[in-house]
Every structure is written in C-alpha cells, then in structure tokens.
Amino acid sequence: MKIQNQLISVRNRILDIISRSNPDSVFNNSDLGDLMSGGEDPSARLHLSIQELLTSAMDDNAQVDYLGLRRSSAYAEYQKRSTSLQTFDPTSFVTREEKMAFWINLYNTLILEAVINLDIKRSVTERFAGIGFFRKAAYLVNGKRVSCDDIEHGILRANRGHPYLGARQFRSDDPRSEWMIDPIDVRIHFALNCASRSCPPIRAYTAENLEEQLDMAAGNFVSQEVEINPRDNSIELSTIFKWFSGDFGGQKGVIAFILKYFPDGELKAWLKSNGQNARLKYKPYDWGLNGRSH
C-alpha cells in the first residue's frame, strides 16, 4: 500500500507539471461571507442553483450555448452559490441516491464552468490531450480540492483510477476516500458529460428520480450509439465501452449491459444468441466541443 501511495503521488506531480496544472487552484475561491449570514441553508440553495444551471445549459438543438450561459443569470447565481461548497460536507447525505445525484450534477456543472473559465474554443483536448482540462477543473469541497478526475474516477467509480494513467485516483490515506460511492453503478458513464460531441447529453439528476433517470440515460445512449451488424458478426459501439470495459466486467459484461437496454426486435434477438462471440468495433470518439463558446 505504501508503494502504491508513493506511485500515485509521483504520478500526480508529473501530470501537474506536464499539464501546467496548479494543484491549489479552484474555481470557487470567493469569500463566503454573504452566503453564511443570510439565515438560509446554503447547501439547499446550492442544490437548486445546480439544477437551474444544468436545465438552462442546453439550447433547442441539444447543444450547449456556452456564450449565452456565460451571460446568464443562472450562471451568475451558480458562481455565487458554488462558494458554499467550501464548507459543505458530502458525508451529510443519507442515501446513496442523494450522493450519486449530487456528484453527477457537480461534475457536469464543473465541466460547464471549466469550458468558460479555461476559454475552451474547439475541444477540451486542445491542450495536453485533455489531461490539463480535467485536472484544472476543480472546486474546493469541505476544505478539500476536488477535480473532475477526482469526481469521476475517485468518487463515482469507487477509486478505480483513470483507465489510461494507472493506479488508483486516491491514495489510501486520502480523506476524500470517504466520499466514494461503492459499488460502482456503471450507468454513470451515460450521465457524465465531458463537453464533447460524443458524450451523453446534459441532464439535471435528482435523488428522488435517480433510478429512472439513469435507466433512461443508459437506454437512450445504447439505442443511439450501438449498432448491431449480423452480416459480419460485429457490434459497433461507443469507445466509452472500451475505456471502461473493466467496470462492466469485460466483453461479457458489456454485452449483457447492451442486451438489457437495446430496443426489442430482431437485432436484440440476434444479440442475445450471438453477442458473446461477436467482434466489438469501437467508433472514433468525437472530442469536438458540444456547443458554441465564442
């Protein structure tokens, strides 16, 4: 364990140097004063502000109008309210659904703010293959810095680590480990939006409807992104299934997941009979920005 912790620390230092990321920099470092003196529950207002921001982010063409979002009252309100994250304790959530909805929504709002703050024009990968973007996008939560990578790989994926960077996201002695949601729910992969065209769409998730919302997100993604080709015994699918194959349990788990959500019909019948022996072909991932930023 000690060696693994050392490897994680060395990896993080190297990545910060390569991507020119400041490990102390966060987006929500404004003064908390006004929020703490108003008499209302700042965390309750924060949750509402997150919902409003995510709801207003999409335009009529299912794209994100980052330029309009930058000027919107919802974004101004969210920026003000996000400072309350500095003292918000995520262990205060009672249910798993509350935890998941909070971290999914926070990831997606953090992505929106990062595109605006880091002045992304074409793609989140335009600098250092995206490594810098997902490390620089960060908030201070209960006194601890939390980046997009930390939320996705450390918390929502139960510290499984980035699929291409090795090791786990958190050291064994990292206090943020108590926020992990274990076991992983693989449907999160169809709820997180990384500001790219091949990503699942942005939605606001609620604890009360989380099960139905995650099922809908997974079903919509599978029906739109998975193509079954009986003639050449192949299944063409999103690269997300390749990156996170281990989360699904390898090819067998991927096929079982697709089978659960694929629309009924002849192709699903073929998948049920032949899926485990089919060739998986992964579609190129379109990292182009999912909207207009300038």
pLDDT digits (tens, 9 = 90+) for 196-206: 999 999 889 99
Domain final residue, candidates 183, 207, 237: 183
What stretches in the chain show pLDDT beneath 70? 33-43, 60, 128-129
Q: What kind and span of H or E run contains 140?
A: strand 138-141
Amino acid residing at 263: P
Quick one: pLDDT at residue 192?
97
Res 33: pLDDT: 63
Whether 206 is covered by a domain: the verdict is no
Please give the Cα distance from 261 to 166 (Å, whole number): 30
Alpha carbons within 13 angstroms on the beta-carbon side of residue 165 total 25
pLDDT number for residue 39: 47
In a domain, 195, yes or no: no
DSSP letters of 246-288? HHHTHHHHHHHHHHHHSPSSHHHHHHHHHGGGSEEEEPPP--B
- The reply to whether 81 and 165 lie within a common domain is yes
The answer to whether position 197 is within a domain reads: no
The whole domain housing 64 covers 2-183
In a domain, 31, yes or no: yes
Residues 168 and 276 in one domain: no
pTM, rounded to two decimals: 0.94
Same domain, 248 and 160: no
Q: Is residue 211 part of a domain?
A: no
221-257 pLDDT, tens per residue?
999 999 999 999 999 999 999 999 999 999 999 999 9
DSSP assignment of 180-230, as one string? --SS--GGGGGT---SBTTSPPP----STTHHHHHHHHHHHHHHHH-EEEG
Tell me, what DSSP letter sits at residue 141?
E
